[in-house]
Structure 1
């Protein structure tokens, strides 16, 4: 509890008549005369006690006791200038970095095991994974039964995960690696082949598993900023950023076996291994599931156009209500 301010009282001084009487009563002999005692209080001088109390008062609430003409009240111009100085001198994270921080705890690495795929695309993808791991680019089938690497995103904190069907189709075993490093096997609980989607259920989950937030694409426009988080060639989680470059696009796989429609086209870099990962806005909300990249050659590397299934379709694959 703040104590009330204390003020010192001025010492009492002798009245002038009393001083005159004292001077009249003093002996006239200079040898025996004594000089009058100096008064403790003299105009224009401070006593030690007064100065001490003033210092204590200023320490307790100096702004209150300071002369008002010395105060400067903040204006909106002062606040704007301070904010501008902070923006010019402080290093702030980019929008993509903030979005990645939001979604990263919900992104998982998906590895499927089983017989080797014999397609040229599968061989190219495997060479890329081996190169990233420092292994020989060509290995025998019996050396590694890792069938494919992709990405998934947790949509329910009980371990329900969305990914691409082509990442896990035909696998004998599926292994999930969560953000905190926990590994778990997973099973396929439902599929949506027309949108290349699969829903997985992890057998073990972290105690603090975070589910992603999904955002309707109803107001999405070309030019909106987006980011992709995943495991290209098994490396990650990696982040790339770009913009939405088109809506309601169609894509036919190089083999011509399937055509996907109503896709989000984007230019954030994606490569084999990003499949099944989230396409997010700058708030880290999931707009779609990355499913394909366009490349007229068989190299399966990114040349500037990727596609994602809108989250409305992906949520329907998981049996979740639409937005």
Structure 2
């Protein structure tokens, strides 16, 4: 059953064990109990009561403490563990086991929702189009200025993020504007034709609908930027110059920024400024937090030269604006 776009409203989720205990505490004891006036608890997690959840979590924590005490209790004839012994064991574990970075864990979460977006049509003769062409050729081991084969011309490469599992995708309008055909490639390698179903030119946003999708397509979780602060860790996932999916990490540099396109044709406002590396091809991709939740859609980089490459300043459209382009409800 298809479900609507999912919004995260909590910075943390309950541990799996706590969720299972809460579900058991929330369920009716038996059919007889229901028949004698007790009402069955709702099966939806939205129906949980805070008191029940707290009680269930308390039970789990108490059980964990009891189990821990039993495990660490000294046995007859054995040496009692000291805090120094515990600290040494923890340090030894940290030294011998490499833990994944927060950005790596976040990228693993969002990667199944990221798609490669390619537009086809008459190739443009703009600086950005020429730069993208050189990047694509180099990625394929060709000469930088090698011509495309006759026929279908790959005009632009960008990124998109799935927000509804029936194949609704957010990307940048400039990635697909004027394309004769749009093709998206999903995480599992499935390629599909996509059509534009909505645009929001003032925010450089487009909504795509893929004509076919993987059976197990996972939509991204979107996160409000209301509590976002400069210095918060973020990561950008996309296909710079068509290579990817690639991940770059950094921090939020500023909020409520403005950006004017190099041609001066458009000015975007209320942008998230960040310093995770972004280049042509990252456009339309997700900017995520360390929980793998989408904070915004990468849309532009600032470079005072004509090179159109990253020098440390990039911008993303807040997800509140991006989701409204797809008709999703606000947070």
Normalised TM-score (structure 1)? 0.76
Aligned residue in 1 for 2:121: 114
- CA RMSD in angstroms comes to 1.8
| Whole-angstrom CA distance in 2 between matches of 1:141 and 1:210 | 34
Any idea what SS the aligned residue of 1:250 has?
strand
Aligned residue in 1 for 2:256: 248
| Whole-angstrom CA distance in 1 between matches of 2:165 and 2:85 | 46
| Whole-angstrom CA distance in 2 between matches of 1:68 and 1:179 | 52
| Whole-angstrom CA distance in 1 between matches of 2:240 and 2:127 | 18
CA shift digits 1:102-159 (9 cap, x unpaired): 1111100000001111222211221121122122322446646101000000111111
Answer with 1 or 2: which has the greater Rg.
1
| Whole-angstrom CA distance in 2 between matches of 1:183 and 1:73 | 61
1:205 pairs with 2:213: yes
* Equivalences, count: 258
| Whole-angstrom CA distance in 2 between matches of 1:75 and 1:153 | 50
CA shift digits 1:33-87 (9 cap, x unpaired): xxxxxxxxxxxxxxxxxxxxxxxxxxxxxxxxxx964144556664444333212
Aligned residue in 1 for 2:174: 166
Given candidates 217, 220, 223, the residue that maps to 2:231 is: 223
With over 3 angstroms needed to count, the CA separation of the structure-2 counterparts of 1:117 and 1:75, relative to structure 1, is same
Residue ranges of structure 1 left out of the alignment (5+ in a row): 1-66
Any idea what SS the aligned residue of 1:214 has?
strand
Aligned residue in 1 for 2:329: 321
Q: Is the 8 A contact 1:248 1:263 kept in 2?
A: yes
Aligned residue in 2 for 1:133: 140
Aligned residue in 1 for 2:287: 279
Residue ranges of structure 2 left out of the alignment (5+ in a row): 1-73
Aligned residue in 2 for 1:96: 103
Aligned residue in 1 for 2:298: 290
CA shift digits 1:265-293 (9 cap, x unpaired): 00000000000000001111110000000
Q: Is the 8 A contact 1:116 1:141 kept in 2?
A: no
Give the Å deviation of 1:179. 0.4
| Whole-angstrom CA distance in 1 between matches of 2:186 and 2:127 | 30
Instruction: Pick which of 69-78 and 237-246 moved more.
Output: 69-78
Q: Is the 8 A contact 2:128 2:280 kept in 1?
A: no
Aligned residue in 1 for 2:20: none
**What does residue range 175-186 of structure 1 map to in structure 2 within 5 Å?**
175-186=183-194
Normalised TM-score (structure 2)? 0.75
